[in-house]
Amino acid sequence: MDFSSSMAIKPSSSSCSSLFAISRTQNSSPKPLLFNFHGIPRNHQNSFFKSLKCIQSPPPGSLPSNPTSFSCSAVTLSPTQTSYLPPRKLSTLVAEFQSLLEPLDRVKRLLHYASLLPPLPASSRTDSNRVMGCTARVWLDAQMDSEGNIRFWADSDSEITKGFCACLVSVLDGAGPEEVLQLKTEDLAALNVGLPGVESSRVNTWHNVLISMQKRTRALVAQKERKTPFEPFPSLVITAEGIQPKGTYAEAQARYLSPDKLKVKELVHVLKEKQIGVVAHFYMDPEVQGILTAAQKEWPHIHISDSLVMADSAVKMVKSGCKFITVLGVDFMSENVRAILDQAGFGEVGVYRMSNERIGCSLADAAATPDYMNYLESASNSLPSLHVVYINTSLETKAYSHELVPTITCTSSNVVPTILQAFAQVPDLNIWYGPDSYMGANIKELFQQMTLMSDEEIAEIHPKHNRDSIKSLLPRLHYYENGTCIVHHLFGHEVVERINEMYCDAFLTAHFEVPGEMFSLAMEAKRRGMGVVGSTQNILDFIKQRVQEALDRNVDDHLQFVLGTESGMVTSIVAAVRSLLDSSNSTSSTKINVEIVFPVSSDSMTKTSTSASPALISVKAGDDVILPVVPGVASGEGCSIHGGCASCPYMKMNSLSSLLNVCHHLPDERNNLKAYETERFKSQTPQGKSIADVGCQPILHMRHFQAKKELSEELVYQVLGSHGNGK
């Protein structure tokens, strides 16, 4: 909606009080009324607006001599128009600031409104009323009055931010709940306010305060309607002093963050004695990650990361003297480690999995089907074509794919730049992404959103693209529609609904593999500086960055992050956050609380009898009722078809006992670990080539792109050759 064009303004010499003037009167509310319009009962507002003659700002660069009096133009609002009061008030606000052409004048106007905003009582300047994501400290309070309208009070320790708050309160204070909730963050885009060079942070302030206003409005409506509130998700609160779990699932996650010292000692001893390196994925079980994180302090050849870095870390460990590599992940990860070590000339180094059974992956399985090969057959008939395959696939899939269509692997962190560079480098290219359907749909949606950006904004993402090029590539971007990760698939509607209701003002993180509804939510948060969408490493880096920024501000703060990926990431997050807090604790008395929220479905908890297990945690569920609860759902590993998923059952096949068993049996002189060893592919592709050799080519193409930021000449030649026969 274009608010700036929604009202007619007629010249007039009359004058009246500004719509934003502060009333000095009080009503029955214990808190002061901020804006004089709201002193008028709602059932008398129509007659009030019939007599209202003016809404206009002072001339550019000036402030009124009387802060509650403006010279203005006549405007008449009909009774039907008053139902759109907040948009009309925002339209007036937009017109006022757009009339000020110089940034300094707009800042002066903000400071003027800040001076009119009454201070918030000390009783309301609490942590629970803080608005997250603002550079300055902002407090917001809200109540519903007797007529069902929402009253807002706000304050900040920054005068400019206080001006923002004054403007937003002027628009929404006294509005009905539906009017508050209908206002969109995009509607604030026309407000051209801020200091040169820092406009984005100012825009974020507008948006974050608005989101907090709407969250409080929903809570007040639910309270009035006596709706049963959502149960909060479980969470871990990290401080410099320790960790506080909230909820049984969080308690289970926290239990292993302080690992058994004897187990740590046993692991370190065998790793040192036998020169064993360990590479593990972020999604490991908390017990395993807790042990590994503690063991890292005494044995440096332990690395926990996303799948991209695991093979690189293994090569570094072997170069440093490790004789064996153990892989804690799913089978395609150990295959990648084996293949990359072979490519680096370390074929004599043994690579070991953590199970004598297959450790699967739903995405890898989706790509190892006739349906996926049929998808690529279609691609091979559309020249020129490039297959961008997610690294979460088997080496066999990579090899078979590469013989059908020239293929490059990608990760969730580099998939977008890979695709953009490929489209820029090869004219009329068709790109076929797979196998993750959610990621494919999210990529396409991301590019669709880019068509609404300016050429300058697009150039910051990729210098060789603009709106026209993004529009032209969309019909040539294809994605496979039958592949999902069982973990991220379960971040569905229930989870998104609860996040919207309870955590919309928190920092939102989402893996690129989540369903579209969760993706859109996180992307909206990202646009206002409150979210990240990407890989596990992107999520970890985002959390670390926001915690460091809070430490740099040197004020007490509470940061809340919704973890939109597998809960196994929490161990690495806790370790990183504790390191940051510990490093600042000696030089600052600032108290920073970092809360990690797990979006786990309410159905992901299983009640059991008190005699079932000695390790149960007792949870009080009322005045007298004590329920013993264990984390996890009856169908396995804390996942629920009704909402979020606690952890990946495949990853949990990598147990601590398996790791110790493998390590104690190395070197495998009696061939006890035959089923655990990652063997080279001895079979051949349909064209009679080694699966290991051909399967490594897409990975090496990605390595080249990572290093040079462009496709290799070899890959471009393959793409432009007939059906990729240039290989």
pLDDT, one tens digit per residue, over 60-93 is 333 333 333 332 233 333 333 444 578 888 888 8
Separation CA 82–CA 88 (nearest Å): 9
Separation CA 687–CA 305 (nearest Å): 35
Quick one: average pLDDT of 254-277?
90
Express each pLDDT in 671-706 by its tens digit: 999 999 998 877 788 888 888 889 989 999 998 999
Separation CA 3–CA 91 (nearest Å): 5
Quick one: average pLDDT of 454-463?
93
Quick one: average pLDDT of 204-232?
88
Separation CA 431–CA 524 (nearest Å): 26
What is the structure's pLDDT at 492?
67
Separation CA 315–CA 338 (nearest Å): 10
User: Peptide bond before 435: cis, by omega within 30 degrees of 0?
Assistant: yes
Torsion of CA 37, 41, 42, 46, to 10 degrees: -70
CATH class as words, domain 88-225? alpha beta
CATH topology identical between 88-225 and 263-358+654-665: no
Quick one: average pLDDT of 489-504?
78
Q: Is 134 a catalytic residue?
A: yes
What superfamily does domain 263-358+654-665 belong to in CATH?
NadA-like (3.40.50.10800)
Separation CA 67–CA 72 (nearest Å): 14
Higher pLDDT, 684 or 490: 684
Q: Where are the domains of the chain?
A: 88-225, 232-259+515-605+625-647, 263-358+654-665, 362-485+681-720
- pLDDT band for position 515 (cuts 50, 70, 90): confident
Quick one: average pLDDT of 471-484?
92
Please report, rounded to a whole number, the percentage of residues in the chain having pLDDT higher than 70. 77
Distances (CA, A) of 381 to 216, 246, 316, 378, 388: 55, 55, 41, 5, 16
Express each pLDDT in 285-301 by its tens digit: 777 888 998 999 999 99
Q: Which of 134, 167, 504, 696 is catalytic?
A: 134
Please report, rounded to a whole number, the percentage of residues in the chain having pLDDT higher than 90. 40
Say how many Å lie between the first and final Cα of the chain, rounded.
54
State the average pLDDT for the chain. 78
Quick one: average pLDDT of 303-318?
90
Q: How many CB atoms lie within 10 A of CB 559?
A: 20
**H or E element at residue 653:** none
Express each pLDDT in 565-614 by its tens digit: 877 788 788 889 999 998 877 667 788 999 999 886 544 443 333 333 33
Helices 159-172 and 85-98 pack at an angle, to 10 degrees, of: 140
Give the Cα-Cα-Cα angle 558, 133, 559 (nearest 5 degrees): 20
